[in-house]
Amino acid sequence: MIYAMQLALSTWPEVEAYLGRSRGIILPIGSTEQHGPSGLIGTDAMVPEAAARAIGERCGALVGPAIAFGVSQFNLGFAGTMSVRAATLMALVEDCVRSLARHGFDRFYFLNGHGGNIAPLKAAFHDLYAASSLAQPPTQSFRLRLRSWWEYPRADRLRKSLYGEAEGMHATPSEVAITQYLQPQAIRRPAMSAAQPLSAEFLREHAGDNHADARSHRAQFPDGRVGSDPARANPEDGQRLFEAAVEDGVADYLAFLAES
């Protein structure tokens, strides 16, 4: 029987029974940070959490609670942003993985919604693998995978075809559109100036939210948008983007489980 489970809504006997048929778990991770004049502060956690549950329903996978705090120090100049240090996020992820590995999980699929998390997560993965590699005697290995919803091929093609340069880097129309689909009662449409396109050099240098301190970031991007035009977002596009991400996420998660 294919069904979805949420860890937070399960009992320990149910999780123990799940481990009898699968040792994989999907862990959504995002941030709590500003998303421009029209984007919800919870966007980066909301999107991967909803996608993770949809993927879990299709795959019969266990889905963990969202880690809703990420590395967002550059956005602390905007009210409501809550950031953790990279070292804090790494420690949290490593402890969560070790906790679940103790019970028998050995496939950890992190579904990410925030660019600033990518570098710390990859570093945490290296440290987790290193602990296994250096142990004497060697310990049983596990596998970790990181995917950001916007890098799934279908979602990536669709967001670029819908918005082009207006997609920008932060408070993007694609992520705002998905939250409009998920939370239609929370749609905001304030007046905004035209988007300022980002150069190829800027995109290259700042990939993965590689920004400086909060004061300089707000001075450069006073309304929180980074080269984006979220005024183009609508819930219909959001549904298409969400479904495209889920479709690829299902295939990617199942392939991950099948790896030797």
For 5-258, give the CATH class: alpha beta
pLDDT at 2 over 70: no
pLDDT at 99 over 60: yes
pLDDT at 142 over 70: yes
Q: Which residues on neighbouring strands pair with residue 35, listed in sequence order?
A: 39
Q: How confident is the model at residue 40 (pLDDT cuts 50, 70, 90)?
A: very high
Q: What pLDDT sits at residue 136?
A: 87
pLDDT digits (tens, 9 = 90+) for 62-73: 999 999 999 999
Q: What pLDDT sits at residue 137?
A: 83
As a whole number, mean pLDDT of residues 128-147 equals 89
- How many whole angstroms separate alpha carbon 249 and alpha carbon 58? 10
What is the DSSP annotation of 113-176?
--GGGHHHHHHHHHHHHHHHHH-SSPPPP-EEEEEEGGGSHHHHHHHHHHHGGGG-SBS-HHHH
As a whole number, mean pLDDT of residues 114-127 equals 98
Estimate to the nearest angstrom the gap between the alpha carbon of 244 and the chain centroid: 15
Q: What is the mean pLDDT of the chain?
A: 96
pLDDT at 257 over 70: yes
pLDDT at 149 over 60: yes
